[in-house]
Amino acid sequence: MVLLHPADPNVALAEARLLTMDMAGADSNFAIAIGRLGVRSGWISRVGADPLGDFVLAAIGGEGVDVSQVKRDPHPTGVFFKHRDPASSTTQVLYYRQGSAASHLSPDDLDPNYLAGALLVHLNGMTCALSVGCAAAAMTAFELAPPGSIRSLDLNLRLQLWDVARARDALSPLIRKADVLLGTVEEFEAFFESDVAGEAMVAAAAMGPTTVVAKRGSRGAIGLIGGVPVSHPGFVPPKVVDEVGAGDGFDAGFLTALLEGCSPQTALRWANLVGASSVSVPGDIQGYPTRVQLEERLATWPENEAFTS
């Protein structure tokens, strides 16, 4: 998608007269973040046959992500706005993507030969919120994932786009096929109708995933990996500027470590570091570290001592 946000991050959207245009979106954010960590990545989607589609393809491809499987579509490229709410000091997002090019993704857009060589197929729950065709394409992607590959899903409920009941209907079949399930503590509690994150994660694991991880922002993350509870504190970035995109970076750090055969603790540590790096600068993708930066910050950034399991 195309992202528009006030050029001055201290100005509310309603008062802004100058906007900056960037590229963002959960799936492409992930592809860029994991690519910076040294993993070859590709992005499958649809963008409009319009100047905004040109911009998105150039931006994502310019990051080294393979965009050969992205189709051009007569419908418009999706747009969203992001701004810092002065009252709450939180980042607010407004989506304008109903009927967008990406919402017309279908199983026919997936090339079995392309996916046959994948070591990891990563999906995002928000994709399924866009249309029935998108949900079907997501299921097809998991079905085409080759034996031995990792199938991962981030709940990413985005309740601006649908309600929990619809999300549960659409995502439950994917959860049953997933090896790895990620989400925030709040998403797990809402999706699995539990006020206790641990209970929600047990319910998630009972559906099939052997690795379940709940993100806790600055407090780090907790996981249930092979039935064993794990946790790790978050990192303290130099400053917090923009939280959007941190979850996608977290996923990239965690899954990179899994692909390299690292321990669960190391995977959580990498994930927390990439997420913390993301929030330290404006923009969804600008803060994602390279592999060299990851290793430097693992050695120098402090962990959050306020973390409690």
Interatomic CA distance for residues 286 and 87, integer angstroms: 25
pLDDT, mean of residues 281-302: 91
pLDDT, mean of residues 176-192: 98
> Does residue 307 register a pLDDT over 70?
no
**Contact yes or no for 201/224 (Cβ under 8 A):** yes
pLDDT of residue 165: 96
Interatomic CA distance for residues 140 and 126, integer angstroms: 16
Residue 154 among the catalytic residues: no
| Rg of the chain (C-alpha set) | 18
If you average pLDDT over every residue of the chain, what do you get? 94
Helix axes 132-144, 164-177, angle to 10 degrees: 10
Burial of 12 (0-12, 13-18, 19+ CB in 10 A): middle
Active-site entry in 242, 248, 251, 284: 248
Q: How does pLDDT run across 60-86, given as a tens digit for each residue?
A: 999 999 999 999 999 999 999 988 777
> Does residue 290 register a pLDDT over 80?
yes
- Partners of 214 in the beta sheet? 183, 222
Domains of the chain and any CATH numbers: 25-72+104-300 (3.40.1190.20)
Q: How does pLDDT run across 118-158, given as a tens digit for each residue?
A: 999 999 999 999 999 999 999 999 999 999 999 999 999 98
